[in-house]
Structure 1
Amino acid sequence: MMTDAPIASRQDGSYPRPQLMRGRWADLSGPWQFLFDDGDVGEHRRWQARWPDDSDQIVVPLPPESPASGIGETGYHRVVWYRRVVTAEERRRGGSTGDGRTLLHFGAVDYRATVWIDGQPAGRHEGGHAPFTLDITDLVSDEGDLSVVVRAEDDPLDAAQPRGKQDWQADPHVVWYHRTTGIWQPVWLEGVPDLHIEQVHWTTDAASPLVTASVRLSHRPAAPVPVSVELFFDGRPLAEIRTTAVERETTIAVEIPLLRNGQAVQDLTWSPDHPRLLDARVHAGTDLVSSYFGITSTRARHGAFLLNGLPCYLRSVLDQGYWPQSHLAAPSAEALRTDVELMRSMGFNAVRLHQEYEDPRFLYWADRLGLMVWAEAPAAYAFTPLAVMRTVAEWQEAVDRDYSHPSIITWVPVNESWGVQSIASDPAQRHFVDALVHLTKALDPTRPVIGNDGWEQVDTDIVTIHDYDADPDRLADRYSEPELLRAAVAGIGPAGRVSVLAGDTDGLPVMLTEFGGISFDPENQGWGYTSASDPEEYWRLLSGILAAVTGASGLAGFCYTQFADTRQETNGLLTPDRTPKLPVEEIRAMVTGH
């Protein structure tokens, strides 16, 4: 664990919350005790205080459905329990000192969590992809060991629960895969002062010398408290400002003198080719956090996607963040870096994170290695008031968590009318998608928002189309010939759905955000939109489709389906264990067009 204030932009990728780092923390990953509670009797029998003797062992944060967790049980189990003893040594490394506070952090628990400390209630959280934090200071009184017990409830048949690609059927089918239940992102302990920094949002614009830090404290200070922000680049001081906080939230504008020189702005901005990160140290009273950010701006106008004011053609790949041994949970922190490196090596400059909020450690490597990110919400499948409330709550938590990552270039709250299947005829569903778009812009007015990726868009900054036509000539014509492109945008799209239900699309960029989907898996005969029977046919199909799309003059970018196979959906460029199906240099040449 880190004991001094770290340099956030040069961390090793293991810290669970990379843009808000402190020196005192203890990783609670590893072996925990585990129980299925199919009869939902645990609370009645007070397992939180009297843990049964016959429990199993699980590796946290790997879901119990996954083989790597040590459980590997994929059936219906609505309620599961976890227990771990936090040792006195771990408390010394990660807990509070003096009159400080001890925080217990959960990266994500799917779907509903209840937590006890030494048998006493510590808190609850709902939302399977969002983080939560519990202040457990008042529940621990000495320096000895303490017991953490977690009850997780995840109803596999609840269609109003945001679930993404997790299957509601007993066995995975078509594009859906095994469910993820319970703890599936890191758990850690952290010591903080009584008044501490809860969140920092960084807002930048490549056209401005000002950087804004929005600092949120744990509570309103009883008396004015000094706050300071120091900025560095490559260890060189850039700016420093000091102020006083009297409210819980304080917005601080920091001017970077070097950015006044318009010809030198490019030396500090973030882009895929030059992923420059600026380091920050933020003090509030006695608290100190290390952070980082990138100076960047994203716009969608004049028929192009603009990065830092200049047209940027997006070469994206769709990624579901799924591993055969650990499912939605990353098998290790290193695996997240490897995925980003593979995407970059194959020629992609962007990734569409499909139907999940990805681990923040993945976003760190995207920031550091230069991979733009489409951030997409996992969908519920029902349209009910409960589904609306759940989706909105979780989306707000995700945007709050990920706001400051320079790699995130657009927000995608809805995909392919999932959860709003009748949007074309139901005004309520249309209002819901419109509301999500407007809510996102209220939370983050700096990035483009795509309201319903693929078709039936009602309010969008980018017109996105899904087209799995395997004929390269038809693809080339459809997205290069102005008349055919207008027809695809203004009328019925390639998937048989209306592309845009409402709104003016003049001047908006058009992107092909799902295409390809070529299955190549001779041994298992998996599922795909198109199939190849041998390497030669796979090369011919892939090269033909990519050549047609990269050469289409009407497109501002694309997203190929997909990065890696996910169980029976075998249309990845890589096998599930991340082995390329063609030499990486050949894939790169196809993706980049040269």
Structure 2
Amino acid sequence: AEDDPLDLAKPRGKQDWLPEPHSIWYPRTTGIWQTVWIERLPRTSIASVRWTPSLVQWDLQLDVKLAGLLTAPLRLDVSLTSGSRLLAADSYLITGDELSRRIAFSDPGIDDSRNDLLWSPESPRLIDATLVLRAEDGAVVDQVGSYTALRDVGVSRDRFLLNDRPYYLRLVLDQGYWPESGATAPSDEALRRDVELAKAMGFNGVRKHQKIEDPRYLYWADRLGLLVWEEMPSAYRFTSTSVERLTREWIDVIARDRSHPCIVAWVPFNESWGVPNLPDNPSHRHYVQSLYHLTRTLDPHRPVIGNDGWESSATDIIGIHDYDGDPERIRARYYSDDIVPRLFRKERPGGRVLVLEGHGQSDVPIVLSEFGGIACSSGTQTWGYSRSDTGEALKLRYTELLRAVHDLRIFAGYCYTQFADTYQEANGLLHADRTPKFPLADILHASRGVADR
């Protein structure tokens, strides 16, 4: 395999093109960096399982694909359980290489009873599934275990919705690197620990930044209850090759991960990386818009942030990146709902317009999806958007900044930069080894603020 470190037309995320990492760019990763395995399969096997929940219908859509030698007739037995409670036990005749069925539940009709089955970060209730493929004589051909959840995400005017109710997003930017192993998690326990730490710091979700994370992280986010914005690693050149590569890989990403309840948003572009001339180049705009619509086509059940940070032209949520470290200036810039037209017309927190001309989107949720970035470390070669010299000073600045953000009703949520120090970028709430820079209880208190809205 050839892996050219200077090839900027491939999706590469935060991997530096220089021999040594600089600024916000990290050492390059090459080779196999996520778990692979070899599995012995029967001649006919269950190749894929996809789940799509619906709260409106109070049911689950099941899509199954088979692979190998298809010998009719075959039956698929499906059982769904929640704890010790049996929810469904169905059997379907399979007449081809795929099956699509809706599994309806008895709707209790009132929220108190419905909530017993709904998934959320506060109550991550999963539904366990067993699928058994049988031959005509009843013999087991293949069997897989799976899980899903009843949960719904969307937007309504200026709010993000979880299970049809407004839900304030408290996210932290997570690069997904470890000092001993780079982009590869050192263990499954390390992935679980990162999910636990995000929750312990008061966040209800993460924005996985410029990385498609290991499925085991998504598993722990599903099981422990943590929302995930999944973001495509950027290519940095706009060419036909980069368009083909990124689009092909993005389609594969959505196919692999769309059944995870924890994933609540897709982010195909970040800060116009790979499309640097969005305001003036129609091809760049059409590319962003086409991936937005492609993503909505492949998964119409989650919001899509077309280009997070600025220069929105097709999006369900407007993400704003603003690293102003002065809480009072943040308050003044975003002080009320009435400033939205001026905000989109005149404000340029990252030096770029927030919404492209002709694409007014004043009635969608606005999330402060990058801010903070306060460095605190003993190293002299570290980097951050601003700096505190001690953990106590970082605590005071973080608390004041989060208090300002929580006061601003214009936002449907926030995403603080960042979870942990990553190489020279020392603006984490945690050191690279995941020890906190000030007590976790104090981080949790500041992160939660008065966000129950």
Give the counterpart of 1:475 among 311, 327, 330: 330
Indicate yes or no: 2:83 matched with 1:234: yes
Give yes or no for contact 1:209–1:260 (8 Å, CA) kept in 2: no
Partner of 1:193: helix, strand, or coil?
Answer: coil
CA contact (8 A) 1:280 1:292 kept: yes
Fraction of identical pairs, as percent: 48
Q: Which letter maps to 1:518?
A: I
Shift of 1:263: 4.4
The answer (yes or no) to whether the contact 2:43–2:69 under 8 Å persists in 1 is no
Contact residue 152 and residue 163 of structure 2 kept, 8 A: yes
Maintained 8 Å contact 1:211/1:253: yes
For 1:351, the equivalent position in structure 2 comes to 206
Q: Quick one: which amino acid aligns to residue 346 of structure 1?
A: M
Q: Which of 313, 322, 333 matches 1:458?
A: 313
SS in 2 for 1:367: helix
Out of 155, 162, 166, the position equivalent to 2:11 is 162
Give the Cα–Cα distance (whole angstroms) in 2 for the partners of residues 257 and 193 of structure 1. Answer: 36
- Find the aligned partners of 2:51 and 2:245 in 1 and give their Cα distance: 27
For residues 295-306 of structure 1, the aligned pairs below 5 Å read 295-306=150-161
Aligned mates of 1:471, 1:263 — CA distance in 2: 43
Q: Give the partner amino acid of 1:430.
A: R
Deviation at 1:249, TM superposition (A): 2.2
Question: 5+ residue gaps in structure 1?
Answer: 1-151
Which residue is equivalent to 1:498?
353
Residue in 1 aligned with 2:176?
Answer: 321
- Are 2:376 and 2:426, in contact at CA under 8 Å, matched by a contact in 1? yes
2:272, 2:307 within 8 Å by CA — same for their partners in 1? yes
User: Residue type of the partner of 1:358?
Assistant: E
Conserved? CA contact 1:220–1:246, under 8 Å = no
The answer to whether the aligner puts 1:273 opposite 2:101 as a matched pair is no
The Cα offsets for residues 216-249 of structure 1, whole Å up to 9 and x where unpaired, read as: 1115834232122210000321112211222222
CA contact (8 A) 1:270 1:295 kept: yes
Give 2:47's aligned residue: 198
Deviations 1:196-233 (A, max 9, x none): 11111100022322111111111583423212221000
394, 414, 431: which is aligned to 1:575? Answer: 431
Matched positions, count: 443
CA distance in 1, matches of 2:133, 2:278: 47
| Between 529-538 and 431-440, the greater mean CA deviation after superposition | 529-538
Structure 1 pair 490/292, CA: closer, same or farther in 2 (3 Å)?
Answer: farther
Contact 1:468 1:514 in 2 (8 A): yes
Instruction: Write out per-residue CA displacement over residues 124-150 of structure 1, whole angstroms, 9 at most, x where no aligned residue.
Output: xxxxxxxxxxxxxxxxxxxxxxxxxxx
Aligned equivalent of 1:188? 37
Structure 1 residue 507: Cα displacement:
2.2
Structure 2 distance, partners of 1:491, 1:228, is 59
Counterpart of 1:307 in structure 2 is: 162
Structure of greater Rg: 1
Q: Is the 8 A contact 2:421 2:429 kept in 1?
A: yes
- Superposition pairs for residues 378-457 of structure 1, below 5 Å? 378-457=233-312
Counterpart for residue 30 of structure 1: none
SS of match in other structure, 2:57: coil
Q: 1:552 aligns with which of 385, 405, 408?
A: 408
CA distance in 1, matches of 2:69, 2:335: 56
The answer on whether the counterparts of 2:212 and 2:233 sit within 8 Å (CA) in structure 1 is: yes
How far is the alpha carbon of 1:500 from its aligned partner?
Answer: 1.1
Q: 2:373·2:428 contact (CA, 8 Å) conserved in 1?
A: yes
Counterpart of 1:153 in 2: which secondary structure? coil
Equivalent residue number for residue 368 of structure 1: 223
C-alpha deviation, 1:523, in angstroms? 3.2
CA distance in structure 2 between the aligned counterparts of 1:439 and 1:219, rounded to whole angstroms = 29
Residue by residue over 1:502-529, the C-alpha shift from the partner in whole angstroms, topping out at 9 and shown as x without a partner, is 4341321111000000010123441000
Measured against aligned partners, the alpha-carbon deviations of 1:361-413 in whole angstroms (never above 9, x if no partner) come to 00011011110000000011110000000001110111111011000000001
Q: For the residues of structure 2 that align with 1:312 and 1:479, how far apart are their CA atoms?
A: 20
Contact kept in structure 2, 1:227 and 1:283, CA below 8 Å = yes
Is 1:217 paired with 2:58? no
The yes-or-no answer on 1:153 pairing with 2:12 is no
Counterpart-to-counterpart distance in 2, 1:461 and 1:451 = 8
In the TM superposition, what is the alpha-carbon distance from 1:540 to its structure 2 partner? 2.3
Please say if residues 488 and 494 of structure 1, whose CA atoms lie closer than 8 Å, have aligned partners that are also in contact: no
Residue 245 of structure 1 corresponds to which residue in structure 2? 94
Give, in angstroms, the shift of residue 261 of structure 1. Answer: 5.6
Q: Letter of the aligned partner of 1:379 in structure 2?
A: S
Q: Which piece of structure 1 moves more, 260-269 or 427-436?
A: 260-269
CA contact (8 A) 1:314 1:556 kept: yes
Aligned Cα root-mean-square deviation (Å) = 1.5
